[in-house]
Amino acid sequence: MTTKPLILPPNPTIGVFDSGFGGLTVLGALLPLIPGAKYIYLGDTARLPYGSKSRETIARYAVSSAKFLEEQGADLLCVACNTASALALTEIEQALSIPVVGVIQPGAEAACKESSRSALVLATVATTQSHAYAQALTALGLTATEKACPLLVPLVEEGWIDHHVTAEVLRIYLAEAFAEAPDARTLLLGCTHYPLLQPLIERTLAQMNHPMTIIDSAAATAVRVAEYVAPSPTGNPATCRFYATDSIEKFQRLGTGFLGHPLAEVHLLDLGG
């Protein structure tokens, strides 16, 4: 991988976009890497789930959100949404005049560093049906096996990140995936909800006697964004501003768990239909 040139000042404004809450794991990974930045986070909660929409609708929603963040002064946009990254990244890039970083390529490249043969991708139905990770991994020379795990997102949003039901669901998904890819030793978390499950995933893998290197695409994306930013010579603290297009109370409640600390005020935003 070629490191991106340092094109942003040490204290940039970074827009982070997701259809909901999961992108807060990317924001959480960004905070220690670019501590002096001004962050603007937008969760398009009124129009989720994106995965059930057409590619054209997803692109329209994602572009409207991206343009809002650029209008708010973002110097760079992080598309912290696997569905939008898989299905609408080109449209977003064409609509903006600032750098755009999605979550697919950084995650695939991080997996490539850990394996020269194959990788297993856990993701949502929409992301697996797009085959975006498989295409990115194949282009890097890896064999990719994608496993859709539709029950994991609602379990995470229910707060069941260390629950016996979630553990059993996860064990079933992994057993099915291993039947298809028994030799896989690199596991790529292809959904920004899944980092919250990483401790449970590690325990489940140990119980199944199937050791794997886990790649967090959220963390890999944060590293990629940081490559655009010059190191900060000062200790200015980060600031965060949050927007949601619906259910700001729910966003604030669930977002606290995703980000790891209480969210500041969440602003309600109407982006239209």
Catalytic residues: 81, 191
Cis before residue 32, ω within 30 degrees of 0? Answer: no
DSSP secondary structure of 179-220: HH-TT--EEEE-STTGGGGHHHHHHHHHHTT---EEEEHHHH
Q: How far apart are the first and last CA of the chain?
A: 39
Q: Which two tokens stand for residue 84?
A: 């939008």
Query: Length of the chain, please?
Result: 273
Q: Which residues pair with 240 in a beta bridge?
A: 39
